[in-house]
Structures are given as C-alpha cells and as structure tokens.
Amino acid sequence: MSNFEPPAPPPPPGGHGAPPPPPAGGYGGPPPGGPDNWDVGAAVNYGWTKFQANVGQMILAALAIFAGAVLIYGIAFFAIIIPAGDSDYSCSFNDAGEYACSGDNGGLGILSLIVLALLYVVFFIYAQVIGAGLIREGLGVTEGRSFTTAGVFKFENIGNVIVTSLLVGVGTFIGTILCVLPGIIFGFLTMFSLFFVVDKNLAPVDAIKASIELVRNNIGSTIIWYLVAYVIALVGAVLCGVGLLVAIPVILVGTCYTYKKLSGQPVAP
C-alpha cells in the first residue's frame, strides 16, 4: 500500500496562521458587490412607514426640541433684549454735523456681549446634541428599535460631534467664499460625517474622510436622495410649515436608511 499523502493546503495570505487581508476600501468604501439594492422609492417608503410606526414619539421630540429653543431664546430676551430696549442711549448728528452718541446704554455693554456670546455657544451645543440625537435615534429605527424622545437629548460622544460640525461648517464657509460652488460641493460630500461619528465612533477627520469616500463611491444615489429630500422638505414647508412635522422625520429615517444601505449594513424591515 502506498504511503502517499496529498500536499497540505497553502497557508493564507500573510504567512502561517495569519488572517486573510481585510477587504479593500475604508469606512466609506462600497460593500462587496455594490450597494445593497438601494433605490429612492424604497428609501422614501421606509421613512414614511417608520414615521407612521413612531409618530407619537417623533412629534413629541419635535415639540421638545422647539421648547428647548424657545427657552434659550427667552433667556436671551430677558438678559439682553429687554435691558437694551430700556436704554436711553442714542446716536444722532449734532449741530456741528458730527455723529455723536449720548445717554445711558442700559444693558448694552461688555457684560451683555459676554452673555450673548455664551448664549450662542449654548445654542450651538444644543443644536449639535439634537442633531446627533436625531441621527442616533434614526439609525436605531433602521436597526429595529423604536424612536424615543429621551434618546434625542443624550449627551453621547458630544466632543467629536461638536468638532466634526465645526470642521464641516468652517470648510463649507471657506468653500462658499470661493465662488459658492466649492462650499456646496464640500457640504454635499460631508453630509454623512455625523453619521460616521455616531454610528462608528470615528474621530472628526476620519468621519469627514469616510463621508467623502462614501458619497464619491455612490455619487448618483446620493445626488438623487439629496434632491428628493429637498423636494420633500419644500412640500412640507409649503403646507404652512406643519407639513415639516411629517417631512423631517421621513427625511431623517430615509437618510439613515440610505446611509446604511450604501455602506453595506443591514437594515431592519
């Protein structure tokens, strides 16, 4: 009887016992075989269906967000606007033709400017918390969880959220100064930056790079969704603004659906 034995299979790439190399592409790279059957009709239908399933919490969240904004504005009104309105400070041309100011400037002054600056900072942080919270809850819906108002107001990874928003804002502003179009392009390419911060816990620069890569790899799909979302928002605004209570949740969940599909992640039915 022969003692012949078949040769052992070759080791995997990278040496004996080494794991196979990772697939090509970064966080924003397309999944193997391309996007998982994304189409705009499915995205809109998914957003509308999930809005119907979570309508109570979504409307409650909208009212809570509005109440928070009114509270911040109310603080500014009582801390700055009312004192400024009671001021006797005025400016005019005198008999010599010179422009001069006189009187008590009331609430106008360094302290009021400091308070105003702090309120701007508070409002900015509030907006970022809300934005990240909405994305977090929207992604949760695509993962089979229910939308919750409490989840919108969670302070999670807020440092990376704020820095990412600042970088995107500065980049868009600089691009806008450069003949407007570069700003529009940069804002479009970075549309998923906060999604990567919230979903993948990426650092700000990495999240921006991942968003640019994802949009570039799916440029047709993202342009179509961007335009459709704009039309949905426009229709909601035309309906006396009340339509935005429906339009914004549909856009939010539809965008989360689009992000998940284009990045090759599963979506709950």
pLDDT score at 103 = 53
> Which residue carries 């100064």 as its tokens?
177
Maximum Cα interatomic distance, the chain, rounded to a whole number of Å: 125
Task: Return the closest-CA partner of residue 218 out of 165, 254, 260, 172.
Answer: 260
Residue type, 53: A
Cβ atoms of 223 and 12 within 8 Å: the answer is: no
The answer for 87, left when phi > 0, alpha when psi is -120 to 50, beta otherwise, is beta
Distance CA 24, CA 11 (A): 21
Q: Chunked in runs of 10, what are the mean pLDDT values of the chain (269 residues)?
A: 48 44 46 64 97 96 92 78 54 59 56 79 91 97 96 92 95 90 94 97 97 97 96 91 91 98 95
pLDDT score at 104 = 52
3-state secondary structure of 28: coil
Phi, psi values for residue 169, rounded to 5°: -65, -45
Task: Return the closest-CA partner of residue 168 out of 142, 198, 196, 189.
Answer: 189
Q: Does the pTM of the predicted model rise above 0.95?
A: no
pLDDT score at 107 = 47
pLDDT score at 33 = 38
Q: 29 is written with which tokens?
A: 């790279």
Half-sphere exposure of 174 (CA within 13 A, CB side): 7
Task: Return the closest-CA partner of residue 225 out of 35, 62, 55, 56.
Answer: 35
